[in-house]
């Protein structure tokens, strides 16, 4: 090929295959991330041509402003329910992987919420949680628990838990399917041998099943951490951050800071901080899992 040696031809082919991915990685990831970091060090309204250099002032504001810290604490509620969601998905996978009658039907029913449109799910739960004619309060009244009826989106203490439960309802089926695929890859002979040796159900789960699911658990933890810290659609569609900012998340506040208050510098600093926090949490998770494996 054009008088090139075999090694040179091989190098040209390898470089040509790498060039396109590297180009798209640079254009759509590296450059935007670098520009975001640059904007976080400036005071810019998103319109003017002048970007005033302010150094780390925006980052100081991120860690000093009480509203931003409160918004981040709301994300931790989603993270807590996300951990519960993973455990619930594993439990459901163990159930439908057994010899349960009609297990295929249960798999379909549990997976259905995941394939539903997110906006449709949000509006559906808007009726479920409605104070006056919502199905949840109606059910509580029907079974005689009138004292438990709530304004689910009107209570600052309950609103984030109510929103996070929607995510649990939607994504538990996805977790179940991932766990189910991993469970079916475990050799049945290994489990049968443990049963013959007298191992109880919980011992099989703890000593055989869980160690074989560690890679899947790590994946789901990764997705859950990212998802819980980047929550936007549910509070945006259902509560608009209310009541009085009680359901404001870090991302919704970042969007408001940029497009409502025209402070793109602070919004960029918030985005960069979130990126750093996610990276730190993923790294910590990886280290803990490696230690548990050893």
Q: From the CA atom positions of the chain, what is the Rg in Å?
A: 24
42-43/52-53 β-pairing: antiparallel
What is the number of other CB atoms lying within 10 angstroms of the CB of residue 241?
18
pLDDT value of residue 196: 85
Residue 1 near residue 9, CB atoms below 8 Å: yes
- pTM, two decimals, is 0.88
pLDDT tens by residue, 55-65: 999 999 999 99
Q: How does residue 261 score in pLDDT terms, banded at 50, 70 and 90?
A: very high
Q: Which residues contact 57 (CB under 8 A, 6 or more apart)?
A: 43
The beta strand positions in the chain, using DSSP E, are: 42-43, 52-53
Residue 114 has pLDDT above 60, yes or no: yes
pLDDT value of residue 163: 96
Q: 42 forms bridges with which residues in the sheet?
A: 53
Reduce the DSSP state of residue 249 to 3 states and report it.
Answer: coil
| Burial label, 220 (beta-carbon count in 10 A; 0-12, 13-18, 19+) | buried
pLDDT tens by residue, 141-189: 999 988 999 999 999 999 999 999 999 999 999 999 999 999 988 888 8
How far apart are the C-alpha atoms of 276 and 89, rounded to whole Å?
Answer: 28
pLDDT value of residue 286: 84
pLDDT value of residue 1: 54
Over residues 222-247, the mean pLDDT reads 92
pLDDT tens by residue, 46-93: 899 889 999 999 999 999 999 999 999 999 999 999 999 999 999 999
pLDDT value of residue 13: 82
pLDDT value of residue 2: 60
Q: What is the DSSP string of 195-231?
A: HHTT--HHHHIIIIIHHHTHHHHHHHHHHHHHHHHT-
Please state, for a pLDDT cut of 70, what percent of the chain lies above it: 98
Over residues 28-56, the mean pLDDT reads 92
Give me the chain's average pLDDT, please.
Answer: 90
Q: Which domains does the chain have, with CATH numbers?
A: 62-293 (1.10.3720.10)
């Amino acid at each position: 090929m054009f008088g090139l040696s075999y090694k040179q031809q091989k190098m040209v082919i390898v470089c040509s295959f790498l060039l396109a991915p590297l180009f798209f990685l640079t254009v759509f990831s590296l450059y935007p991330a670098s520009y975001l970091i640059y904007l976080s060090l400036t005071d810019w309204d998103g319109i003017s041509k002048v970007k005033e250099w302010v150094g780390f002032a925006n980052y100081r504001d991120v860690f000093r402003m009480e509203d931003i810290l409160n918004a981040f604490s709301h994300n931790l509620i989603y993270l807590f329910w996300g951990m519960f969601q993973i455990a619930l998905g594993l439990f459901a996978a163990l159930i439908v992987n057994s010899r349960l009658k009609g297990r295929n039907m249960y798999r379909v029913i549990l997976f259905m919420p995941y394939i539903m449109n997110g906006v449709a799910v949000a509006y559906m739960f808007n009726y479920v949680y409605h104070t006056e004619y919502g199905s949840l309060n109606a059910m509580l009244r029907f079974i005689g628990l009138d004292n438990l009826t709530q304004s689910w989106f009107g209570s600052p203490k309950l609103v984030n838990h109510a929103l996070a439960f929607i995510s649990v309802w939607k994504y538990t089926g996805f977790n179940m399917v991932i766990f189910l695929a991993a469970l079916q890859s475990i050799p049945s002979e290994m489990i049968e041998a443990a049963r013959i040796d007298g191992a109880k159900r919980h011992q099989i789960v703890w000593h055989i099943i869980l160690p074989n699911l560690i890679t899947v658990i790590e994946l789901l933890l990764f997705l859950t951490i990212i998802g819980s810290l980047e929550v936007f659609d549910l509070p945006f569609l259902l509560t608009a951050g209310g009541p009085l900012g009680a359901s404001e998340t870090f991302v919704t506040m970042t969007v408001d800071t940029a497009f409502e208050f025209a402070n793109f510098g602070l919004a960029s600093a918030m985005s960069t901080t979130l990126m750093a926090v996610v990276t730190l949490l993923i790294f910590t998770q990886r280290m803990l899992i490696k230690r548990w494996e050893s």
